[in-house]
């Protein structure tokens, strides 16, 4: 990826990048929808819900299937998801070691709610490293694929967007980074992308092992 503008900030997506959460999220959401008589599969989840905020997903479900979701749907989903996370959420392989070696500042910019993001990082052992540098779609007018969230994170961290590197797994996230004029790499090491045919802009480079990040961008490695 180098040479190019120096990278002064790495912006990580959370779900599917820092934490291997998308399989659990799909399992819980698809189960909730099945209870309402709507049977969708994992392929549909990946194609339509990955990388989007829950309010956007819920709106898409209502519009696409002409279904009325119970008022308690989101509350029940989030409660069941937290239970699933507490029991089985793990960081993506090697991510904790990688974060500890970064030579530049870093933050999270995620479509998740603040509570879900903070719980995910805590359970995965990443709450300490990221601290308060966690930005969510609730802080901007438009979520991914709009550039708002990444630009907001760069502004809050005091870094020129052109000198930020985004690490994403989802197509909406990649589109958001491109719209923000930020370089982006696609992390494909999450279980939800394993053995899947991946589509993205041809100029977007991919990697599935966190050691590779320092091969692609050597200047990021500190100690």
pLDDT digit string, tens, across residues 180-196: 999 999 999 998 888 77
In CATH terms, 9-21+89-220 corresponds, of 3.40.50.200, 3.40.190.10, 3.40.50.1000, 3.40.50.720, to 3.40.50.1000
User: Mean pLDDT, the chain, as a whole number?
Assistant: 93
Q: Where are the domains of the chain?
A: 9-21+89-220, 22-88
Q: How does pLDDT run across 112-145, given as a tens digit for each residue?
A: 999 999 999 999 999 999 999 999 999 999 999 9
Distance CA 105, CA 131 (A): 12
Q: What are the residues whose beta carbons fall under 8 Å from the beta carbon of 73, sequence distance 6 or more?
A: 32, 58
The CATH homologous superfamily for domain 22-88 is Putative phosphatase; domain 2 (1.10.150.240)
pTM: 0.91
Cβ(91)–Cβ(187) below 8 Å? no
């Amino acid at each position: 990826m180098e040479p190019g503008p120096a990278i002064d900030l790495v912006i990580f997506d959370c779900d599917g990048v820092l934490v291997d959460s998308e399989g659990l999220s799909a399992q819980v959401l698809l189960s909730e929808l099945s209870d309402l008589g709507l049977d969708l599969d994992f392929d549909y989840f990946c194609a339509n819900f990955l990388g989007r905020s829950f309010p956007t997903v819920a709106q898409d479900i209502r519009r696409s299937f002409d279904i009325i979701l119970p008022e308690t749907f989101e509350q029940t989903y989030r409660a069941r998801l937290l239970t699933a996370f507490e029991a089985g959420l793990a960081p993506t392989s090697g991510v904790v070691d990688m974060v500890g070696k970064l030579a530049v500042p870093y933050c999270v910019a995620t479509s998740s709610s603040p509570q879900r993001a903070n719980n995910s990082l805590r359970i995965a052992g990443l709450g300490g490293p990221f601290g308060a540098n966690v930005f969510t779609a609730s802080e901007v007018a438009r979520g991914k694929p709009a550039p708002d969230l990444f630009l907001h994170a760069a502004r809050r961290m005091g870094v020129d967007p052109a000198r930020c590197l985004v690490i994403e797994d989802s197509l909406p996230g990649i589109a958001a980074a491109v719209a923000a004029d930020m370089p982006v790499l696609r992390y494909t090491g999450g279980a939800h992308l394993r053995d899947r045919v991946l589509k993205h802009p041809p100029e977007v480079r991919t990697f599935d092992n966190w050691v590779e990040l320092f091969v692609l961008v050597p200047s990021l490695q500190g100690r």
